[in-house]
Structure 1
Amino acid sequence: MEGKESKTACSEGFSSIRLCVFLLALLALIVLAQLAQAGISRIWAVDDGEKVKRIDNNHPLATSSDNPVRDGSEVSLFGAKNEVSANEDGRFVVLPVENPRYRGNELFRAFENYYSPRVRELRNRYGLDAVVAGETDEWKRILLLRHWIKSSIAIDNENPTKTRGDTFAILDAALREGKFHCTHFSIVQHAVLNSFGYVTRRLGCGPGLKEDGGHHGVNEVWVNKFRKWVLIDAKYDVHFEKNQMPLSALDIRDEIWRDGAQSVVCVVGPDRHPMKPDSETGKSETRPDTYRWCSWETSTNRFTTFPATSTSTLIMLQDEIFKKNTWYRDGKPHWAYGTPYMILTTRRDWIEWTPNVITSKVTIEDTKARVFLSSCTPNFRSFQTKAGDDTWRDCSEEVELPLAKKGRNCFTFRTINLFGVAGPEHRVEIVYSLDKSEPTTPGTLFSESFDDGKLLNRGWYDGDVFNISADEAYLGVGCIEYPWEKGHTKPSGCSGVRHLFEPTEEVYLRCYIKLSPGWGWTNRTYHPHLMHFLTTENGKYHGPAASHLTLYVEPVNGKLRLAATDIQNKNAPHGLTQGPLRGGYNGKLYDSKEVLFDDSKWYCVEAMFKLNSLDVKNKRPNADGQLRGWFDGKLVIERTDIIFRSADFPGMKINQFLLTPYFGSGLLPHSQTLWIDELAVGTKRVGSVSPPDSSAASATSWGLMLERINQHFPFTFNGAADSAIVYANLKELTSP
């Protein structure tokens, strides 16, 4: 009976040999399923511990019939000493990180000198170190020093004590019951804060009205904790906040001109108690509207260069507010108008330059990253990097770092000045990605992040010079920058450019747009032009001005505009669809109801165009074409009754995108710059992207960046008994 059962078992294929083969086949199927899910391209079986290189076709095992090398279609495991390895194509990717924005210093050239004996004398003579003893928080130390100044100097706006205007003279006189006004307070506060390494500058501000043309001297201090300038007033021991965030002079100014600063609160003392403006003479200076007008002194080293005289030149922001209004002081236009002492700039970012902040560039070669650091740090001592034990160590401006393929490579840097004040942290994060191309959203025809100038390698054409800005990028490591010089029509140093894509009757655009500080409009009903779509009815180099159909996406006078022209159809059998020619041009315009664009901010702009259908039998167009425009995700333009094409063009499809910024002759108001980032064109709405949260576990908003690496698992294969071990190793290999 036992023999019969044994024979039956053998006849049904359950011998030990067949069982082993069956288990191997089952293992192979499981492995292949794991590999397919993991996206691993190859598995190698290696004889005697020697790994077969996948490009080594001369290796004896490469062509062995006993041990075929397969590209994911089959896996063979055998031998006494083997190693299973997954070799994955990939690259290291620098992740976008929300670092403090770097803005270079173009206007403020001189700083207080750490090595001046006046610095140590100031701290020693008045016991300033004791004022901040035990306090490590930078912002609280600043508030304590400001409070000490307020407590040490009495106010007299009308008859201040006469001194030579030096910090020591003012403080010595104050200790002898001398009294002073705002200018003296700002001189002392500038010296005191700079003596601790806090970058400080002096301002002159005022309401600027004919009937209220007073003037007030204050300071701004760069606060690394907040990564911004903060206005501080030692005369009243106050500053201004909105939503508990301290404000700069420009912040307050913006709030005043926007809605009278209804959301701004004046806070007093180190404990930041809310303060109501006092009607008493002089106390009106604690009102936000004192900062309706602001100027910044270019001389920022008066303390350590004393007694040398310094010519006072005043920087003012030449934006629309400045152009349309006049700053009055003591009932007359400000004395600096029309003099060489008024330095005008349209670049808000030049005023809001960022001390102590780092900007970096990263290059990667093999498994090493080279990081190049730069910063504008007054009294700079060194860059520093954080080690694995969270201790900071000095480093050079060029750092070479090893990269691991598993997990994130996270590096943190900062500046430190001679006073020991550390700047904001700057992070660089790099991961290993299995995918060499940028993942795209379904329906995407093409996308461009403008992280480098190699646009011609990515399907763009008809351009040759591209200016990529690393400092202004919305996401990633770059954006395209279009700067106009006064009197020009086209941007300088950056070409227009085109991109073909698969023809479609419905197209979507998504991009991010930023306008430079003080951006000016034409104040006409047209221009600037910016982005266009052309169709299959025109060639790949046809101009957008006179085509069978050109679709426009552009900002005009602060509104978002979508538009269409078809000038080239003037002699077509069914004529024009976009209105009659006027002066040789035609077009239909579709604007947002509200002004949307402001300068110095990134905005997400989306547009959609869908060609109308045709009544082919009757040779008539149907008024069912569509267009839509979104601004920061909000639908601001919508039409569903558009005729884009006539029956003359039944095969018309949209197939070309043009990025060609242009101001008409004489329409550019002044020199200014426009930036574009994260552009995508698709057959479905692409949607917005956001700078990643620094704490997020996902790699980047570009898509999933896989972090699996080449891994190796040695094993000795003695039959079915080891299949579970091999399977466990392969499972670990293919797991995320």
Structure 2
Amino acid sequence: MRSPTKLALILALFPLLLPVTSHAFTESFENNSFASRGWYDNTNQGTIVSGGQSGNCLQWNWAAGAVTPTNGASSRLAITPTDTLYLSFYVKFQSGWQGSQKTYHPHLMYILSDLDYNANHYSPLANNYLQTYVEFLSDIGNPYGVHPQIALQDEKRVNTSYGTPPNNLSATTENRSVNYCNTPVYSGVNGQTCFADNPYYSSNIWLSSATVPTGGWHHVEVYMAMNSVTNGKGNNDGIMQEWIDGTPVINQANILYRTAQDATKKWAEFVLAPYIGDGSPIAQSMWIDELTIQPTKPGNAAPSAPAGLSTTYK
């Protein structure tokens, strides 16, 4: 029989044995054998159905009032830590999709930093060193336009030593949140949050004015690159880009993802965790297919946008 000390050591080391996806990862959602493809935590994500962009796809189906869809708990994928990240997938919203009918949610896809992954392979999804959200926010009320959105939060880096947030510490210290609680809002940010939590929830939001038509498949591409850090200071030169069917909807080259405090911080974990915190306003479904995660952008030009897609962006 193993001694308690050895058993504790094995249990402590177990998360380190999780498979790490390197280079390009593709998930076609043809079947629900998620664990065999490197997913962990919830390995029975959503429902696999026919009628995808290609073959089968992943369906998220919320009942009215439900916070998560059927089998909607977090499914995680460890990726090789990277300074640059390209994400591609197809999405379809049912006709009449309403989202959350709030100014926040649904959360859908999350990308966590290596600091979070190394601290806890099952890191919480609301209290992080850096968490990137890729999601869609619906207008409140008919016609319920669906807008692409990317958001950042780094609650664990909020500095309260210099007073109650929000307070601008960009000229004071690099030991701070890169978001609203400790860093001033800069060009392109059109939403921000700072409220007492653990210690404070600190976020910036980039919400596009483009709308994604419902009832059909649309190609989503996201590319991000960490900002540089020189002379002990983080620079506002990170990249955040998103395309819908080849049309740019978010295009920023002034993003601050990290300060000198976390000069080598990278993205290291991808999570599927659909969530409508106040409950879905109606019974509704959406679908995801042909997910690709890799460190670099593909070289081919993106296709043209279909008719009906707004091309304006903020």
User: How does the TM-score come out when normalised to structure 1?
Assistant: 0.32
Name the SS for the 2:257 alignment partner.
coil
Aligned residue runs from structure 1 range 423-438, under 5 A? none
Work out which of the residue numbers 615, 625, 650 in structure 1 matches 2:238. 625
Partner SS, residue 136 of structure 2: strand
Q: Greater Rg, structure 1 or structure 2? A: 1
Instruction: Find the residue that maps to 2:156 and give its secondary structure.
Output: helix
Contact 2:61 2:284 survives alignment (8 Å): yes
CA contact (8 A) 2:53 2:289 kept: yes
- From 41, 55, 59, the counterpart of 1:481: 59
Query: Does 1:560 pair with 2:138?
Result: no
Residue 72 of structure 2 contacts residue 274 of structure 2 at CA under 8 Å; is this kept in 1?
no
Deviation at 1:605, TM superposition (A): 0.8
Identity of aligned residues (%): 30
Contact 1:445 1:501 in 2 (8 A): no
Instruction: Select which of 126, 141, 147 maps to 1:545.
Output: 126
What per-residue deviation string (whole Å, max 9, x for no partner) do you get for residues 100-127 of structure 1? xxxxxxxxxxxxxxxxxxxxxxxxxxxx
TM alignment of 1:68-217, pairs within 5 A: none
Aligned to 2:83: 505
> How large is the RMSD of aligned CA atoms in angstroms?
2.1
Q: Which amino acid aligns with 1:565?
A: Q
Aligned with 2:89: secondary structure? strand
| Offset of residue 552 of structure 1 | 1.0
Query: Is 1:681 matched with 2:293?
Result: yes
Equivalences for residues 705-724 of structure 1 within 5 A: none
**Structure 1 residue identity aligned to 2:69:** P
SS state at 1:537 partner: helix
Distance in 2 of aligned mates of 1:462 and 1:447: 19
Deviations 1:394-424 (A, max 9, x none): xxxxxxxxxxxxxxxxxxxxxxxxxxxxxxx
| Contact kept in structure 1, 2:47 and 2:70, CA below 8 Å | no
Task: Establish whether residue 587 from structure 1 lines up as the match of residue 203 from structure 2.
Answer: yes
User: In 1, Cα distance between the equivalents of 2:87 and 2:245?
Assistant: 13
Distance 1:663 1:634, change over 3 A: same
Task: List per-residue Cα deviations over 1:211-260 (Å, max 9, x = no partner).
Answer: xxxxxxxxxxxxxxxxxxxxxxxxxxxxxxxxxxxxxxxxxxxxxxxxxx
| Amino acid aligned to 2:204 | K
Partner of 1:604: 219
Asked if structure 1 preserves the Cα contact closer than 8 Å seen for 2:33 and 2:43, the reply is: no
Partner of 1:30: none
> One-letter code of the match for 1:569?
R
Question: Does structure 1 residue 462 correspond to structure 2 residue 41?
Answer: yes
Cα contact 1:516–1:672 (8 A) shared by 2: yes
Q: 1:688 to 1:670 in 2, by over 3 A?
A: farther
8 Å Cα contact 1:451-1:468 kept in structure 2: no
Over 3 Å counting, the alpha-carbon distance change for 1:598 and 1:669 in structure 2 is farther
What's the counterpart of residue 517 of structure 1? 95
Alignment deviations for residues 690-726 of structure 1 (CA, whole Å, 9 cap, x no partner): 9xxxxxxxxxxxxxxxxxxxxxxxxxxxxxxxxxxxx
Q: Secondary structure at the match of 2:291?
A: strand
Q: Given residue 219 of structure 2, which amino acid in structure 1 is its aligned partner? A: C
Partner SS for 2:249: strand
Separation of aligned partners in 2, 1:503 and 1:570:
23
2 CA distance for matches of 1:598 and 1:669?
Answer: 19
| Equivalent-residue separation in structure 2 for 1:463 and 1:547 (angstroms) | 20
Using a 3 Å threshold, how does the CA distance of structure 1 residues 551 and 601 change in structure 2: closer, same or farther? same
Report the CA distance shift for 1:452/1:689 in structure 2 as closer, same or farther (over 3 A): farther
Rounded to whole Å, the distance in 2 between the matches of 1:526 and 1:627 is: 20
- Kept in 2, the 8 Å contact 1:452–1:468? The answer is no
| One of 26, 31, 35 as aligned partner of 1:447 | 26
Equivalent residue for 1:257? none
Relative to its length, the structure with more strand (as a share) is: 2
Query: Could you tell me which amino acid in structure 1 is paired with residue 264 of structure 2?
Result: G
Q: Where does the alignment leave 5 or more consecutive residues of structure 2 unmatched?
A: 1-21, 139-145, 161-173, 182-193, 304-314
Contact 2:26–2:291 under 8 Å retained in 1:
yes
Q: Number of residue pairs matched? A: 243
Secondary structure of the equivalent of 2:274? Answer: strand
Name the structure 2 match of 1:669: 281
SS at match of 1:586: strand
